[in-house]
């Protein structure tokens, strides 16, 4: 399917064009640029771009980049190392020039030769990089360099201007001269060289077009660095940018309609539902309801080997097995396929069962945000399925092995993409599942000995995303490995001194059931003074760390998906000890978004604690961050409260301090 | 310095990769070799369930010509046992302009028994990436063979030319992180040539002369080095067994004399690169102009190297071993480790101080006196101390067998002051390059007072549990390294975020009110870190009581477990960590109960702490001292005991009660 989504424009008529030599001289730095030691608009910056000039000329078949960069700290010296990756068959880098200017105005020219590095070469592809480093770089230096990216005369390359970079940009200038030739599109059709672009720009900045010069241009200034914050949505896909492309589409709607038609046709060609009638006849009965039919088909495709989680086979292997994959019925015949292929098979089978079903290709939410105005099919990642049941569209994710029926893997939720419809294609938006979809129930039954040793068992039952994660990890590895990784994940947050070991899983390969993990508990728990013993009250989160620690926030918060966790912990106490006090019950709300409740009870030699955490919303604005952070901090503080035991009079012994060491970060 | 290609094979195996040599010629006509099918039919012992893959056969033949040029032929057969073993089945063959690939054949057998021969269009050619190097001419042919699933078998045969830069040794890396069922090594030498072997971490096996001056060794069922779930583990490189064969047309020295030859060989390669133009000498004299004595001179020049010369690695052919000319490094102000060491030597010479190279490896234990070899991954410097000179701040001093004393210094390390060396170099071995007087030396282990942290803090505790106060940390030696880097290289945002992440490990709810550091650039002074914080809900209510953890910041304990120990224990560093913390109690509260004092001394380390109830104040103090960082497995019980005591102390609580 990748070829369908890829656009490549070739010149219908190629002509030899002369290479352009650098006509401009270097820029004389201003006294202020030489002397500056910091940029007030970017406090603490390692370096800034004083000026960045990108020009693309599809008539000359070359792009040029000119950079003036000021080094402000030792770390900023790293920007003297320049690596320019490029496609090596049709593109080349030439005219690399550079110089270093010290803060006293001394100029040290770059006299070396750039190295040509092979990144990767195959029978059909070649990727290279030119690398060089500028000489005698000091804090305060201005680094200046430029180069030309040239490409074959039968090729055009519409530029992509990424305006917002890791460094602050004082001033940037961008220019694009498009080709005037007739082009061929990815489908082999001739087309006039019509240019369009998608842009995300700061207020006041706009792409200008000069009709007399047939040139697009953009001037920007004072561009902040691209933000980087923990738990941020995939903002890298929505930084300031202008993305040009050649197109025959007159509007975004026109583009998605036209390209969608090609995509949908290719998709249906692969599905070829007509060949699946016999297969589906073995799966469903005529008397089944539509939902029953879909459930049965879903169950069948879930049994197939999903090579997205194991290993894709090479052409040699397929040939050795006499396999040629041309359509969905071939996938069924060989009983294996990648996630997208299995999704298309599922849609084909549902159609063959007489139901309405479509394919949607979506942008994975952990990678990027779909931008409808960016007319590029390459935004789309995975295929999902849509089936009309009871007059409504329902979404399925058969390409994600073990994904529960009627649910989507979380990266396919709250995102957009392109879907098939009865009349063509349209943009689709997927929904946010409720927190009940992703539930976890944890119970611990523990017995504390007089010497502080603890033993017992843990049961953790999971549905939704968490169960899917472990099941898919088991597909990539094996049960032995996930036992180890699972116990490590639990071990991280239980009290210091406690050791957990995964005993077994239940329903690891049954997507329609809850996944259960059973763990054994050993080690020791609690600390002691001369009179008392202190026990972690919440157990499962006693060692957890606060989620948010930074005060400042500029970006939204993305916590992936909503969920609910309910804990029940019973600690049987030794007879020689009595509970002196337990933490107070707590009810901590984050109105409309989350809630935390904890109860602590002492009864007949037992400490019983319950804990409920519900995150009903996984996306928050930056304005909501302070409240979200406060909520999490309150929860974390509550999770670390302790119950106090005291020795009953005339009873021998008391729990010793931790007898083993499984905690500690080593941070000093 | 980078590891030579011959050494790379072993390193790649450590990374879970298999190194092979490839060439895209004549594959289709190659019959399926019976040595693969024979190896695939091997009866294997029972391996632990976590074993990813097993090397059924590792067979290497080195052929040395009368001119000393060598070629190597490798055969390898690997069987995948678990899904994770697929990662071991990516066949990777490194080469460069001086280590060319002559031939290659690669095959695989799927779990269903189908036999595959790799074709040209299944081979990728990739360049070397990473390691902080700007350009290295190393490239690799990479194959993902078909059938690479559990019970599948992958195999290759490769022939590669070995670059000859004047040395004459080859290594047999017979151990990795997967078990090796059968490993064979052969060397074919011209008649009359001499050779000898040295072994490390494996009993020496006797070689057999299967043809005139053609020697063969074989090992069976070599266990893997498996460091998963091993806390405080040394590096894998420090544990793997290997053998080195030295060979020569003339008589071969052994032991210390061989080490001397290796150093002498490198001296010949590198010494001409120290010749430098007048401006290098002039700059050296300029930076050392105000130096009063030896220490002042070396401090000045070392400071120049650390501040002014950027780390940029460019290696082509012999450039993996031979430094660039000092003149170029000086002119362009950049270079890699061996370049920096070379410029340092040239600059010190200009001010009358003699210095030389020390060839080392950053995995302590990889270089071992029992195994003379040129292999290593780093270059540092040894500065000759004047006779009788001593200074308490110059600690990293070694004595050579010539009677000369050398100060060890790493000019690539920008944040370790001259006089000290960072932990991964301490106690490791290296080759002191001193012409015919070259020798293997052990770098010093610095005493516990060479790296110290003194933390003092004063807090006020509110009745609502809020803790507010100031902390001062005086950091010297290794404990200052990260803070020098943070406050020299990073901006305010990164500095603040680093400190907030630090507090995150100890506090559930907090605000970092301020943070600053002094002396980060001044290597002659300790770094002083000041910060203040407010931690709400620090003291936890429990009934009518208020629980306070006296240890507020920093953990010295490290994760450990109860499993039997077979590998050595690595503490990572020596040092002393002390703290003294006062917490003013909320009005009306008194200390009702508190942890008992703790004191444990296990020889190689000690830990003591004490909580005191002073009028209106809860006082906590502790001291942790690590004197020895490398321990035998037999010390495991002591380490476990130490970590248990520390973990308990760090998590213990005091109880406050209203009067």
In whole angstroms, give the CA distance from residue A400 to residue A397: 6
Among A108, A316, A523, the residue to mutate for chain B (most B Cβ within 10 A) = A316
Residues of A (562-621) whose Cβ lies below 8 Å from B? 580-584
Q: Into how many domains does chain B fold? A: 3
Same domain? For B227 and B284 the reply is no
Q: Based on the number of CB atoms within 10 Å of its own CB, is B402 exposed (0-12), middle (13-18) or buried (19 or more)?
A: exposed
Q: Which residues of chain B neighbour A549 with C-beta distances below 8 Å?
A: 500-501, 503-504, 510
Q: What is the mean pLDDT of residues A605-634?
A: 96
The A residues from 473 to 502 touching B (CB cutoff 8 Å) are 476-478, 480-481, 484, 496-497, 499
The pLDDT of B120-141, averaged and rounded, is 88
Please, which pLDDT band fits residue A375 given cuts at 50, 70 and 90? confident
What does the alpha-carbon distance between residue A170 and residue A590 come to, in Å, rounded to a whole number?
41
Under the banding of pLDDT at 50, 70 and 90, the label for residue A451 is: confident
For residue B488, list chain A residues with Cβ-Cβ distance below 8 A. 73-74
Task: Scan residues 526-545 of A and list those with Cβ closer than 8 Å to B.
Answer: 527-532, 534, 545
Mean pLDDT over B100-127 rounds to 91
Please tell me which of the candidates A44, A531, A633 has its beta carbon nearest to residue B593. A531
Q: Which residues of B touch A581 (CB under 8 A)?
A: 542-545
Is there a single domain that holds both residue B188 and residue B90? yes
Query: Per residue in B579-594, pLDDT tens?
Result: 999 999 999 999 999 9
The residues, ordered by sequence, that sit 6+ positions from A40 with a Cβ below 8 Å of its Cβ are none
Contact B644 A664 (CB under 8 A): no
CA distance B488 to chain A (A): 7
Residue in A138, A488, A549 to test binding to B, most B beta-carbons within 10 Å = A549
How far apart (Å, rounded) are the C-alpha atoms in residues B238 and B629?
A: 14
The answer on pLDDT for B4 being more than 60 is no
Cβ contact, residue pair A640, B494, below 8 Å: no
Q: Let me know: does B606 contact B641? Beta carbons within 8 Å.
A: no
> What's the CATH number where B296 sits?
3.10.620.30
| A317 touches B147 (CB < 8 A) | yes
Q: Is A637 within 8 Å of B508 when comparing Cβ atoms?
A: yes
CB contact under 8 A, A120 and B453: no
Span of A259-263, A319-323, A587-591, B120-124 with lowest mean pLDDT = B120-124
Which of A598, A635, A664 is best to mutate for the B interface (most B CBs within 10 A)?
A664
Residue of chain B with shortest Cα separation from A631: B509
Mean pLDDT in residue range A166-175 = 98
How far A440 CA lies from chain B's nearest CA (Å)?
Answer: 23
- Cβ contacts (< 8 Å) between A123 and chain B: which residues? 120-121
Domain A436-647 has CATH 3.40.50.720: no
Which of A115, A321, A664 is facing B559, going by the closest CB pair? Answer: A664
| Residue A313 with chain B: CB contacts under 8 Å | 146
Q: Do B406 and B358 fall into the same domain?
A: yes
pLDDT (average), residues B641-650: 95
Q: Which residues contact A585 (CB under 8 A, 6 or more apart)?
A: A597, A598, A599, A600
| Yes or no, beta carbons of B333 and A137 under 8 Å apart | yes
pLDDT in tens, B201-260: 999 999 999 999 999 999 999 999 999 989 999 999 999 999 999 999 999 999 999 999
The candidate with the shortest Cα–Cα distance to A349, out of A445, A260, A401, A272, is: A272
Nearest CA-CA distance, residue B372 and chain A, Å: 34
Query: Among residues A24, A19, A115, A111, which one has the least CA distance to residue A68?
Result: A24
Domain stop point among B188, B221, B249? B249
pLDDT digits (tens, 9 = 90+) for A395-408: 999 999 999 999 99
Residue with tokens 């011209």: B190
For A93: left if phi > 0, alpha if psi spans -120 to 50, otherwise beta; the answer is beta
Q: What are the tens digits of pLDDT across the range A244-299?
A: 988 878 788 888 888 899 999 999 999 998 999 999 999 999 999 999 999 999 99
Question: Would you call B129 and A119 a contact, using CB atoms and an 8 Å cutoff?
Answer: yes
Which residues of A are less than 8 Å from B652 in CB distance?
Answer: 527-529, 534, 657
Which chain B residue shows the shortest CA-CA distance from A111? B332
What pLDDT score was predicted for residue B541?
Answer: 86
Nearest beta carbon to residue B490 from set A75, A636, A667: A75
State the DSSP string of B138-191: -EEEEE--TT-STT-EEEEEEEEEE--SS--EEEE----SS-EEEEEEEEE--T
Instruction: Supply the mean pLDDT for chain A.
Output: 91
| Type and span of the H or E element at A628 | helix A625-639
Percent share of chain A, pLDDT over 70: 93
Q: Read off the pLDDT of residues B285-343 as tens digits, 9 standing for 90 and up.
A: 999 999 989 999 999 999 999 999 999 999 999 999 999 999 999 999 999 999 999 99
Hey, what CATH topology would domain A2-248 get?
Answer: Immunoglobulin-like (2.60.40)
Chain A nearest-CA distance from B271, in A, is: 24
* Residue B22 pLDDT: 31
Residues B437 and B510 in one domain: no
Contacts of B576 (CB under 8 A, 6+ apart): B448, B449, B451, B452, B453, B623, B624, B625, B626
pLDDT at A253: 85
Report how far apart, in Å, the C-alpha atoms of A14 and of each of A92, A176, A181, A183, A184 are. Answer: 18, 19, 9, 10, 12
Residue A109 to residue B27: CA distance in whole angstroms: 49
Same domain for B325 and B374?
Answer: yes
Q: Which residues contact B272 (CB under 8 A, 6 or more apart)?
A: none
CA closest to B478 among chain A residues? A668
| Secondary structure (DSSP) of B540-580 | EEETTEEEE-S--S--------SS---S-EE----EEEEEE
- Give φ, ψ of A402 to 5 degrees: 75, 5
Alpha carbon of B652: minimum distance to chain A alpha carbons (Å): 5
CA distance B619 to B554: 16
Q: Does A303 touch chain B (CB under 8 A)?
A: no
Q: How far apart are the CA of A550 and the nearest CA of chain B, in angstroms?
A: 7
Helix (H, G, I), strand (E, B) or coil at A56: strand
At A540, give phi and psi (nearest 5°). Answer: -65, -25
Task: Report chain B residues whose CB lies below 8 A from the CB of A530.
Answer: 593-594, 596
Q: ipTM, 2 decimals?
A: 0.89
Do B454 and B582 reside in the same domain of the chain?
A: yes
Nearest to B555 by CA among A513, A667, A318: A667
Residues B531 and B470: beta-carbon distance below 8 Å: yes
Chain A residues closer than 8 Å to B545 by CB: 580-581, 644
Residues B52 and B180 in one domain: yes
Q: Hey, what are A559's tokens? A: 């916590």
Contact status, residue B516 vs residue B530, Cβ threshold 8 Å = yes
B537 interaction partners in chain A (CB closer than 8 Å): 633-634, 637-638
Q: Which of B106, B146, B228 to mutate to test the interface with A (most CBs of A within 10 A)?
A: B146
Question: Count of alpha carbons within 13 Å of A252, Cβ hemisphere only?
Answer: 12
The domain boundary, picked from B249, B283, B315, lies at B249
Q: In 3-state terms, what secondary structure has residue B521?
A: coil
Domain ranges across chain A: 2-248, 254-431, 436-647
In degrees, to the nearest 5, what angle opens at C-alpha B285 toward C-alphas A137 and B433? 85
* pLDDT bracket for residue A668 (50, 70, 90): low
Which site among B47, B82, B83 would you substitute to test the A interface, given the most A Cβ atoms closer than 10 Å to its Cβ? B83
Mean pLDDT of A349-367: 97
A641 touching chain B per CB within 8 A: yes
Which residues, 6+ apart, have CB-to-CB distance to B520 below 8 Å? B483, B484, B486, B487, B488, B527
Q: From its phi and psi, is residue A350 left (phi > 0), alpha (psi between -120 and 50) or beta?
A: alpha
pLDDT tens, residue by residue, B386-406: 999 999 999 999 999 999 999
Host domain of residue B183: 5-249
Residues of A in contact with B543 (CB under 8 A): 580-582, 644
Is residue B265 located within the same domain as residue B385? yes
B9 has a pLDDT exceeding 70:
no
Nearest alpha-carbon partner for A61 in A187, A156, A176: A156
Contact A32, A105 (CB under 8 A): no
Tell me what the mean pLDDT of segment A519-529 comes to: 92
Residue partners of A28: CB distance under 8 A and separation at least 6: none
Burial call B519-536: b when 16+ CB within 10 Å, e when fewer: bbeebeebbbbebbbbbb
Residue A11: the pLDDT is 42
Mean pLDDT (whole number) for A127-156? 96
DSSP sequence for A584-621: PPEEEEETTTEEEEEEEEEETTEEEEEEEEEE---EE-
* Dihedral sign from CA coordinates of B374, B378, B384, B385: negative
CATH number for the domain formed by residue range(s) A254-431? 3.10.620.30
Cα distance from B596 to chain A (closest Cα, Å)?
6
Pairing between β-strand B101-109 and β-strand B115-117 as defined by DSSP bridges? antiparallel
Q: Note whether B542 contacts A643, CB cutoff 8 Å.
A: yes
What is the structure's pLDDT at A24? 52
Site from B542, B546, B620 to mutate, A interface, most A CB atoms within 10 angstroms: B542
d(CA A225, CA B650): 41
Band the pLDDT of A662: cuts 50, 70, 90.
Answer: very low
* Final residue belonging to a domain, choices B444, B465, B498: B444
Backbone angles phi, psi at A33, to 5 degrees: -65, -40
Contact between chains at B82 and A317 (C-beta distance less than 8 A): no
One domain for residues B388 and B320: yes
Find chain A residues with C-beta within 8 A of B547's C-beta.
534, 641-642, 644
Q: Is the dihedral of CA A108, A113, A116, A117 positive or negative?
A: negative
Asked whether the beta carbons of B329 and B276 are under 8 A apart, the reply is no
Who's near A364: CB < 8 A, 6+ residues apart?
A381, A382, A411, A412, A415
Instruction: Say whether both B102 and B195 belong to one domain.
Output: yes
**Cβ burial B231-259 (10 Å sphere, 16+ → b, else e):** bbbbbbbbbbbbbbbbbbeeebeeeeebb
**Chain A residues near residue B308 by CB distance under 8 angstroms:** 138
The CATH number for B532's domain is: 2.60.120.1130
Q: For residue range A408-420, what is the model confidence (pLDDT) as tens digits?
A: 999 999 999 999 9
Q: Is residue A228 within 8 angstroms of chain B, CB to CB?
A: no
In this prediction, residue A8 has a pLDDT band, given cuts at 50, 70 and 90, of very low
Share of chain B above pLDDT 90, in %: 88
H or E element that contains A304: none
Two tokens at B302? 């070392």
Which of 49-108 (A) contact B at CB < 8 A? 73-75, 77, 80-81, 83
Cα(A643)–Cα(A448) distance, rounded to whole angstroms? 13
Instruction: Report residue A418: phi and psi, to 5°.
Output: -115, 135
Rounded Cα gap, residues A554 and B123, in angstroms: 46
The DSSP string of A431-479 is: PPPPGGGSEEEEEEEEEE-TTSBEEEEEEEEE-THHHHHHHHHHHHS-H
pLDDT digits (tens, 9 = 90+) for B436-475: 999 999 999 999 999 999 999 999 999 999 999 999 999 9
Distance between B77 CA and the closest CA of chain A, angstroms: 19
The answer to whether the Cβ–Cβ distance between A137 and B149 falls below 8 Å is no
Cβ pair A496:B543 closer than 8 A: no
């Amino acid at each position: 399917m990748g070829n369908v989504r890829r656009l490549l424009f070739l010149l219908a008529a190629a002509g030899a064009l002369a290479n352009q030599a650098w006509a401009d001289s270097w820029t004389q730095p201003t006294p202020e640029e030489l002397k500056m030691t910091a940029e007030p608009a970017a406090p603490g910056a390692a370096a800034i771009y004083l000026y960045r000039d990108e020009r693309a000329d599809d008539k000359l078949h070359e792009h040029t980049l000119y950079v003036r960069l000021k080094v402000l700290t030792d770390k900023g010296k790293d920007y003297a190392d320049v690596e320019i990756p490029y496609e090596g068959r049709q593109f080349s880098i030439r005219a690399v020039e550079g110089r270093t200017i010290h803060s006293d105005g001394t100029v040290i020219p770059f006299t070396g030769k750039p190295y040509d590095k092979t990144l990767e070469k195959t029978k059909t592809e070649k990727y290279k990089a030119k690398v060089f480093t500028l000489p005698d770089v000091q804090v305060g230096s201005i680094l200046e360099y430029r180069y030309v990216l040239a490409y074959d005369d039968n090729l055009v390359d519409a530029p992509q201007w990424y305006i917002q970079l890791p460094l602050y940009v004082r001033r940037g200038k961008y220019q694009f001269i498009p080709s005037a030739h007739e082009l061929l599109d990815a489908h082999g059709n001739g087309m006039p060289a019509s240019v369009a672009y998608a842009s995300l720009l700061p207020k006041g900045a706009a792409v200008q077009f000069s009709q007399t010069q047939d040139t697009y241009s953009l001037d920007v200034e004072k561009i902040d660095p691209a933000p980087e914050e923990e738990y941020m949505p995939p903002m890298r896909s929505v930084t300031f940018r202008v993305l040009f492309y050649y197109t025959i589409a007159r509007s975004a709607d026109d583009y998605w309609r036209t390209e969608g038609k090609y995509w949908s046709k290719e998709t249906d060609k692969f599905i070829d539902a007509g060949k699946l009638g016999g297969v589906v006849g073995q799966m469903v009965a005529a008397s089944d309801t539509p939902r029953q039919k879909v459930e049965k088909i879903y169950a069948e495709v879930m049994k197939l080997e999903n090579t997205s989680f194991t290993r894709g086979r090479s052409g040699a292997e397929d040939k050795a097995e006499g396999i040629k994959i041309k359509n969905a019925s071939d996938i069924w015949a060989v009983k294996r396929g990648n996630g997208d292929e299995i999704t298309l098979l599922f849609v084909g089978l549902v159609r063959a069962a007489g139901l309405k079903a479509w394919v949607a290709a979506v942008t994975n939410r952990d990678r990027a945000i779909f931008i409808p105005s960016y007319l590029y099919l390459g935004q789309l990642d995975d295929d999902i399925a849509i089936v009309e049941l009871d007059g409504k569209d329902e979404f399925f994710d058969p390409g994600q092995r073990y994904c529960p029926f009627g649910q989507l893997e979380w990266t396919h939720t709250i995102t957009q993409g392109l879907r098939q419809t009865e009349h063509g294609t349209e943009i689709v938006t997927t929904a946010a599942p409720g927190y009940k979809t992703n539930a976890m129930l944890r119970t611990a039954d523990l017995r504390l000995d007089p010497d502080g040793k603890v033993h017992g068992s843990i049961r953790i039952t999971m549905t939704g995303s968490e169960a899917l994660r472990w099941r898919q990890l088991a597909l990539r590895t094996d049960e032995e490995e996930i036992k180890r990784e699972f116990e490590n994940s639990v071990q991280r947050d239980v009290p210091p001194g406690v050791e957990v070991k995964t005993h077994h899983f239940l329903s690891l390969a049954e997507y329609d059931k809850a996944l259960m993990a059973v763990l054994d508990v050993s080690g020791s728990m609690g600390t002691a003074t001369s009179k008392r013993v202190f026990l972690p009250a919440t157990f499962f989160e006693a060692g957890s760390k606060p989620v948010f620690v930074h005060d400042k926030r500029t970006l939204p918060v993305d916590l992936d998906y909503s969920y609910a966790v309910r804990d029940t912990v019973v600690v049987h106490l030794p007879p020689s000890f009595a509970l002196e006090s337990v933490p107070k019950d707590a009810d901590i709300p984050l109105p409309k978004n989350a809630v935390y409740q904890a109860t602590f009870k002492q009864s007949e030699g037992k400490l019983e604690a319950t804990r409920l955490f519900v995150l009903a919303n996984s996306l928050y604005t930056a304005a909501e961050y302070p409240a979200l952070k406060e909520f999490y901090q309150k929860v974390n503080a509550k999770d670390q409260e302790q119950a106090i035991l005291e020795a009953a009079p005339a009873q021998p012994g008391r729990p010793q301090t931790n007898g083993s060491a499984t905690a500690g970060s080593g941070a000093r | 310095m980078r590891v030579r290609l011959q050494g790379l094979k072993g390193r790649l195996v450590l990374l879970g990769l298999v190194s092979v040599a490839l060439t895209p010629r004549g594959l289709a006509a190659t019959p399926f070799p019976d040595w693969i099918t024979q190896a695939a039919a091997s009866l294997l012992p029972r391996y632990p369930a976590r074993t990813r893959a097993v090397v059924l056969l590792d067979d290497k033949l080195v052929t040395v010509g009368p001119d000393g040029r060598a070629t190597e032929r490798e055969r390898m057969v690997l069987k995948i046992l678990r899904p994770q073993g697929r990662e071991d089945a990516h066949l990777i063959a490194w080469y460069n302009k001086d280590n060319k690939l002559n031939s290659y054949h690669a095959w695989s057998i799927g779990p269903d028994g189908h036999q595959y021969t790799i074709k040209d269009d299944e081979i990728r050619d990739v360049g070397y990436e990473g390691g902080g190097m700007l350009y290295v001419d190393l490239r690799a042919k990479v194959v993902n063979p078909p059938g690479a699933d559990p019970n599948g078998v992958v195999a290759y045969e490769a022939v590669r030319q070995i670059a000859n830069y004047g040395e004459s040794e080859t290594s047999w890396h017979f151990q990795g992180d997967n078990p090796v069922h059968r490993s064979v090594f052969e060397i074919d030498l011209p008649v009359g040539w001499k050779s000898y072997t040295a072994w490390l971490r494996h009993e020496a096996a006797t070689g057999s002369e299967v043809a005139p001056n053609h020697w063969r060794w074989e090992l069976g069922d070599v266990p893997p080095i498996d460091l998963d779930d091993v806390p405080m583990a040394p590096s894998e490189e420090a544990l793997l067994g290997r053998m080195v064969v030295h060979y020569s047309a003339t008589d071969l020295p052994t032991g210390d004399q061989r080490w001397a030859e290796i150093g002498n060989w490198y001296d010949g390669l590198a010494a001409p690169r120290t010749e430098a133009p007048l401006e290098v000498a002039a700059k050296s004299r300029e930076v050392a102009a105000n130096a009063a004595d030896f220490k002042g001179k070396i401090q000045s020049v070392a400071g120049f190297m650390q501040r002014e010369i950027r780390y940029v690695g460019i290696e082509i052919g012999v450039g993996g071993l031979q430094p660039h000319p000092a003149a170029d490094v000086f002119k362009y102000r950049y270079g890699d480790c061996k370049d920096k060491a070379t410029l340092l030597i040239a600059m010190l010479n200009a001010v009358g101080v003699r210095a030389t190279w020390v060839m080392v490896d950053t995995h302590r234990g990889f270089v071992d006196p029992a195994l003379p070899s040129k292999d290593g991954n780093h270059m540092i410097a040894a500065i000759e101390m004047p006779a009788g000179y001593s200074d308490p701040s110059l600690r990293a001093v070694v004595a050579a067998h010539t009677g000369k004393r050398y100060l060890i210094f790493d000019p690539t390390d920008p944040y370790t002051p001259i006089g000290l060396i960072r932990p991964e170099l301490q106690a490791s071995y290296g080759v002191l390059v001193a012409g015919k007087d070259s020798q293997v030396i052990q770098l010093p282990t610095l005493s516990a007072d060479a790296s110290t942290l003194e933390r003092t803090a004063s807090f006020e505790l509110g009745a609502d549990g809020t803790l507010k106060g100031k902390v001062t940390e005086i950091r010297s030696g290794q404990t200052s390294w990260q803070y020098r880097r943070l406050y020299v290289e990073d901006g305010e945002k990164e500095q603040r975020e680093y400190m907030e992440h630090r507090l995150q490990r100890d506090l559930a709810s907090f605000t970092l009110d301020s943070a600053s550091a002094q002396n980060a650039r001044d290597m002659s002074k300790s770094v002083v870190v000041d910060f203040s914080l407010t931690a709400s809900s620090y003291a936890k209510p429990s009934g009518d009581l208020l629980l306070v953890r006296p240890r507020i910041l920093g953990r010295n304990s490290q994760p450990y477990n109860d499993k039997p120990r077979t590998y050595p224990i690595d503490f990572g560093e020596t040092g002393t960590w002390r703290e003294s913390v006062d917490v003013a109690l909320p009005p009306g509260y008194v200390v009702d109960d508190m942890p008992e004092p703790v004191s444990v001394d296990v020889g190689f380390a000690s830990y003591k702490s004490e909580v005191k109830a002073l009028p209106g104040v809860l006082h906590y103090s502790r001291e942790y001292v690590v004197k020895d960082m490398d321990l035998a497995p037999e010390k495991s019980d002591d380490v476990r005991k130490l970590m248990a005591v520390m973990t308990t102390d760090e998590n213990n609580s005091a109880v406050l009660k209203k009067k």
